[in-house]
Chains A and B, each alone.
Chain A
Amino acid sequence: DIQMTQSPSFLSASVGDRVTINCKASQNINKYLNWYQQKLGEAPKLLIYNTNNLQTGIPSRFSGSGSGTDYTLTISSLQPEDVATYFCLQHSSRPLTFGSGTKLEIK
Chain B
Amino acid sequence: QVQLQQSGAELAKPGSSVKISCKASGYTFTSYYISWIKQTTGQGLEYIGYINTGSGGTNYNEKFKGKATLTVDKSSSTAFMQLSSLTPDDSAVYYCARDYPGPRFAYWGQGTLVTVSS
Q: Which A positions have Cβ atoms within 8 angstroms of B?
A: 34, 36, 42-46, 49-50, 53, 55, 87, 89, 91, 94-101
Are B63 and A95 interface neighbours, CB within 8 A?
Answer: yes
Residues on A with C-beta less than 8 A from B107 are: 46
> Nearest Cβ in chain B — how far from A94, in angstroms?
7
* A34 touching B110 in the complex, CB below 8 Å, given contacts A95-B47, A100-B44: no
Q: What is the bound-complex CA distance between A53 and B102, given in angstroms?
A: 12
- Of the candidates B44, B62, B95, B103, the one whose C-beta lies within 8 Å of that of A49 is B103
Are A44 and B61 interface neighbours, CB within 8 A?
Answer: no
Q: Does residue B46 face the partner (Cβ distance < 8 Å to A)?
A: yes
Contacts across chains A and B counted by CB atoms under 8 Å: 50
> Nearest Cβ in chain B — how far from A96, in angstroms?
4
- Of the candidates A53, A87, A95, the one whose C-beta lies within 8 Å of that of B61 is A95
> Nearest Cβ in chain A — how far from B111, in angstroms?
6
Are A94 and B59 interface neighbours, CB within 8 A?
Answer: yes
Are B62 and A36 interface neighbours, CB within 8 A?
Answer: no
Q: What is the bound-complex CA distance between A68 and B47, given in angstroms?
A: 22
Q: Which of A43, A50, A94, A95: most chain B Cβ within 10 A?
A: A43
Q: Does residue B32 face the partner (Cβ distance < 8 Å to A)?
A: no
* A87 touching B108 in the complex, CB below 8 Å, given contacts A34-B103, A94-B61, A95-B61: no
- List 15 contacting pairs A-B, 8 Å CB cutoff, sorted by A: A36-B105, A46-B105, A46-B106, A49-B106, A55-B106, A87-B44, A89-B104, A89-B105, A94-B59, A95-B47, A95-B61, A95-B63, A98-B45, A98-B47, A100-B44
> Nearest Cβ in chain B — how far from A73, in angstroms?
15
